[in-house]
Amino acid sequence: MTKHSRRISSSLLAVTGLVAVIGLVDSLYLSVTHYTNALVPCSFTHGCETVLRSSYSEIFGIPVAAFGVIFYITVLSASVFFIQHKTYHWWLSVWGVIGFFSTVYLIYIQAFILHAYCQYCLLSALTSTSIAILGGMLYLTNKHKGEKQ
């Protein structure tokens, strides 16, 4: 890997880590409010409670936001690890794609089944989509470097 591509990868990983922190805070907030049954302020979309209290807000009794916490911790940890070790592994890009397709499914539910939007869920959609894009950029930056990824 050239010095230039290593620098680009480090920058992309740093941005990915920052985006993961935003998603992690959002998912943690939603997880805590789920378990405490707290109402969330919803000033932009006015559909948060509809979305967050729907049958789609849990998978096997676990809030979807808790899966988001796992997703964002994994992305953040991998980003930090890869920056420190000046390396990259393709599975971070795959993880981003998994997050993106999960987002597409959850946005579909909000739009076409619940007819309500949650601003916190939309923020998570933005962060997971950004992670997928950044993961794609990382993959393309490192794809032809001749090193095992």
* Mean pLDDT estimate for the chain: 92
Is 149 a member of any domain?
Answer: no
Is 133 a member of any domain?
Answer: yes
The answer to whether 67 and 105 are in contact (CB under 8 A) is no
Domain of 115, CATH number, reads 1.20.1440.130
Is 56 a member of any domain?
Answer: yes
Dist. CA 45–CA 94, nearest whole Å = 31
User: Model confidence at 148, in pLDDT bands (50, 70, 90)?
Assistant: very low
pLDDT of residue 43: 85
- For residue 146 the two structure tokens come to 């001749």
Q: In sequence order, what DSSP letters do the residues of the chain get, joined into one string?
A: --HHHHHHHHHHHHHHHHHHHHHHHHHHHHHHHHHHTPPPP-TTTS-HHHHHTSGGGEETTEEHHHHHHHHHHHHHHHHHHHHHTT---THHHHHHHHHHHHHHHHHHIIIIII----HHHHHHHHHHHHHHHHHHHHHHHHTTSSS--
Residue 58's DSSP bridge partners are 63
What are 85-144's pLDDT values in tens digits? 877 788 889 999 999 999 999 999 999 999 999 999 999 999 999 999 999 999 998 886
- Give the chain's domain count: 1
Is 148 a member of any domain?
Answer: no
Greater pLDDT, 4 or 16: 16
Q: Tell me the residue range of the domain where 95 lies.
A: 3-142
